[in-house]
Structures are given as structure tokens and as C-alpha cells.
Amino acid sequence: MVAPPRRFDVELDEAADGLTVRFEGENVDRADIYTDGRPRTSVNLTDGTTSAAVPGAGAPGEVRVEGFAAGQPVAVRIFRRDQQGRLIPLSAFLQ
């Protein structure tokens, strides 16, 4: 059996009031968000677009977002802060 095609696009928005993560995806039903290696929140996803505020994120040096389908890890997005202070995409993995 062939796995359904997946999409897991992640964008970060940093503002004075905190960090927001925007998801655009398909066949990924949950995302776990970590900042600087610490778990912050889990978000239930639906196909299409979803946004979530990340409580207690502060100004992290790294943000890791793990995507799951039926409880199994299927995607990872990692962002790290560059020398200008921006969180930039570093790596992506989609299974």
C-alpha cells in the first residue's frame, strides 16, 4: 500500500506579543512544537491552513516542529536564528 502524499509547510511569525506558527499541510494530523529543545505545545491539524500561538516561547535560538500522522512521525522542520536575529529554515524532512 502506498502512503498518501503529504505536505507540511511551516512558517514562523515573531511579533512583540510572541511566536505564532502557521501550518499549511495535507495528511499530517498533529504538530509538536519545541523551542530551544523544550516542548511548548501540540496542535491538532486539518488539511489546509492552521495557526497556533506558542506559549512561553520568548526569543528562541531554535524552533523544531514535528509533524505526525496517526501517531507516527512523518515530518520535521527546524529553524535557527541567524546573525541578523531572524529565525530561518535550516532543514526539512518529510516521510
CATH number at residue 15: 2.60.40
Global model pTM greater than 0.85: yes
How many domains does the chain divide into? 1
Domain assignment present for residue 66? The answer is yes
The pLDDT, as a whole number, for residue 63 is: 97
pLDDT at 94 over 70: no
How confident is the model over 34-61, as pLDDT tens digits? 999 999 999 999 888 999 999 888 899 9
Which pLDDT score, from 0 to 100, does residue 95 have? Answer: 67
In a domain, 46, yes or no: yes
Residue bearing the bigger pLDDT, 31 or 91 = 31
In sign, the C-alpha dihedral spanning 16, 80, 61, 30 is positive
Structural domain boundaries, residue 67:
7-94
Domain presence at residue 11: yes
Position 1 in a domain? no
Kindly give the pairing relationship between strand 62-69 and strand 38-44: unpaired
pLDDT, tens digit (0-9, with 9 covering 90-100), for 13-26: 998 778 999 999 99
| SS3 readout for the chain | CCCCCCEEEEEEEEECCEEEEEEEEECCCEEEEEECCEEEEEEECCCEEEEEEECCCCCCCEEEEEEEECCEEEEEEEEEECCCCCEEEEEEEEC
**Is residue 50 domain-resident?**
yes
